[in-house]
Chain A
């Protein structure tokens, strides 16, 4: 009865200890800077295409569906722009983007670190006197904390664009009306909120996935399982954090 609870508490404790370990034992900034730039390219640049495609269609679909629901002639068409814009900034851009990236980046991080664990590469780093947690995870974390907000900003801009294109093609709302609507409900804090979400979700994805990979035991099968677990747990925690942030900050 208590065993699953104890296992969860043990996992949380190990995760927190790993977080502490990540921030101790920096050896040479030069080494970490090179790794950081590599990771930034992997997490950031290599995800842009996927983010752009998804954001464009999310914006387009949201516009079409909002127009479908707003059938009353008393509601101005600019309302579509307001709803799509606010939804994109507050929810769609940070959350949908992060859920997609949890699949792409989370599984990549977990399988990469997991493979290093089972092939003794992490042991080799430790024998060389390196703090393997810092060496392997910190550059990914720093890259993620910077890349996620950038990707979410891209996503937000492109989803607006998708909304405008879909609105124009379907005749639901023209770009001018969309723009008026988007500006009418806009507050600066929405952008701050979006970026806070992006940083939080980036932190969750990188650290949870790294944790799953770092403590994997066994062989290729277990690495695959850790990779799947990383995606599932990251996605769940993103949704929980999404709710908590909305409750706390809005």
Chain B
């Protein structure tokens, strides 16, 4: 498993510095969480890591390869090994669920239609959906869309799985189900999973390794265990306030 590492990531939008030199090494084959209050730069950092935004300064390393300086072939290979679940699910409205999940296979592989159909059915089953291949995204609930998004993200057996606010807008029960799915998929597919969230319940379930951002700065790095067991006073004040506001830590 290639290590995923970011070094000194900085990003400005106009005069505002959104990311202030963030460095972090993600734990391979584990769920890594980027947490923090809204507007702290979590999603921008995630977009820098997957190449949707180019950082002003800093490097993103997938194994030995610097993503933002990679050749187009290296970049293609990295992207082939990368699955992403978007906050809005980002399913293609004009395609059926089956076509959505099959889409990365059609781009990156020369698989036969039979192979694609089998793989799509397998991935949909893995996320707990059956018989929805012919439905359109508009016919699905928010939780089902998120699961289809997960199925599309894992269809190529990715090494890296990115999830941007996977629980936003979902009821607590569905949120829990999505968290469990992410956990299961990470274990079964041995993916290095990076989850961006401000939901502390998810952190309690998923966070093997945690990066806490506040106003574009990496304030705290640690594990779920440390977060649970260490006395609240030992945390930086921003994290302490965030934990207390979540209602899970008093």
Residue of B with least CB distance to A30: B106
Q: How far is the CA of A128 from the CA of B107 in the complex (A)?
A: 8
Q: A115-B93, A121-B93 are in contact. Are A130 and B107 (CB under 8 A)?
A: yes
Residue of B with least CB distance to A120: B90
Contact of B79 among A116, A119, A123, A129 (CB under 8 A): A129
Q: How far is the CA of A130 from the CA of B90 in the complex (A)?
A: 15
Interface residues of B in 55-111 (CB under 8 A from A): 75-76, 79-80, 82, 84, 86-88, 90-93, 103-104, 106-108
Q: A119-B88, A120-B90 are in contact. Are A126 and B107 (CB under 8 A)?
A: no
Residues on B with beta carbons closer than 8 Å to the beta carbon of A119: 88, 90, 93
Q: Is B50 interfacial (CB 8 A cutoff)?
A: yes
Q: Which of A116, A120, A126: most chain B CB closer than 10 A? A: A120
Q: Is A124 interfacial (CB 8 A cutoff)?
A: yes
A-B contact count (CB 8 A): 47
Check A120–B104 contact: CB distance below 8 A.
no
Q: Is B230 interfacial (CB 8 A cutoff)?
A: no
Q: Is A26 interfacial (CB 8 A cutoff)?
A: no
The contact sample of 21 A-B pairs, CB cut-off 8 A, is A27-B107, A116-B93, A119-B93, A120-B87, A120-B90, A121-B91, A121-B92, A121-B93, A123-B86, A123-B90, A124-B86, A124-B90, A127-B50, A127-B84, A128-B79, A128-B107, A129-B75, A129-B76, A129-B80, A129-B108, A130-B107
Check A28–B107 contact: CB distance below 8 A.
yes
CB distance from B119 to the nearest CB of A (A): 16
Check B104–A128 contact: CB distance below 8 A.
yes
Residues on A with beta carbons closer than 8 Å to the beta carbon of B76: 129
Residues on A with beta carbons closer than 8 Å to the beta carbon of B39: none
One digit per residue, 1 when the CB lies within 8 angstroms of any chain A CB and 0 when it does not, for chain B 27-52 equals 00000000000000000000100111
Beyond A120-B88, A128-B79, A129-B76, 12 additional pairs, beta carbon < 8 A: A27-B107, A31-B107, A116-B92, A121-B93, A124-B86, A126-B51, A127-B50, A127-B51, A127-B84, A128-B103, A128-B107, A129-B107
Enumerate chain A interface residues (CB-CB to B < 8 A).
Answer: 27-28, 31, 115-116, 119-121, 123-124, 126-130
Contact of B90 among A27, A28, A121, A129 (CB under 8 A): A121
Q: How many residues of B contact A (CB 8 A)?
A: 22
Nearest first, the 8 closest Cβ-Cβ pairs linking A and B are A129-B79, A120-B90, A124-B90, A120-B86, A127-B84, A120-B88, A121-B90, A119-B88
Q: How far is the CA of A128 from the CA of B90 in the complex (A)?
A: 12
Q: A119-B90, A121-B90 are in contact. Are A127 and B82 (CB under 8 A)?
A: yes
Enumerate chain B interface residues (CB-CB to A < 8 A).
Answer: 47, 50-52, 75-76, 79-80, 82, 84, 86-88, 90-93, 103-104, 106-108
Residue of A with least CB distance to B82: A127
CB distance from B42 to the nearest CB of A (A): 15
Residues on A with beta carbons closer than 8 Å to the beta carbon of B87: 120
Q: Which of A27, A119, A126, A127: most chain B CB closer than 10 A? A: A127
Residue of A with least CB distance to B103: A128
Q: How far is the CA of A155 from the CA of B29 in the complex (A)?
A: 62
CB distance from B168 to the nearest CB of A (A): 12
Q: How far is the CA of A129 from the CA of B82 in the complex (A)?
A: 10
Check B52–A127 contact: CB distance below 8 A.
yes
Contact of A123 among B52, B91, B106, B107 (CB under 8 A): B52
Residues on A with beta carbons closer than 8 Å to the beta carbon of B50: 127
Residues on B with beta carbons closer than 8 Å to the beta carbon of A124: 84, 86, 90, 92
Residue of A with least CB distance to B110: A28
Residues on B with beta carbons closer than 8 Å to the beta carbon of A127: 50-52, 79, 82, 84
Check A126–B52 contact: CB distance below 8 A.
yes
CB distance from A3 to the nearest CB of B (A): 15
Residues on B with beta carbons closer than 8 Å to the beta carbon of A121: 90-93
Check B52–A31 contact: CB distance below 8 A.
no
CB distance from A116 to the nearest CB of B (A): 8
Q: How far is the CA of A160 from the CA of B108 in the complex (A)?
A: 51
Residues on B with beta carbons closer than 8 Å to the beta carbon of A126: 51-52
Residues on B with beta carbons closer than 8 Å to the beta carbon of A31: 106-107
Q: How far is the CA of A116 from the CA of B84 in the complex (A)?
A: 16
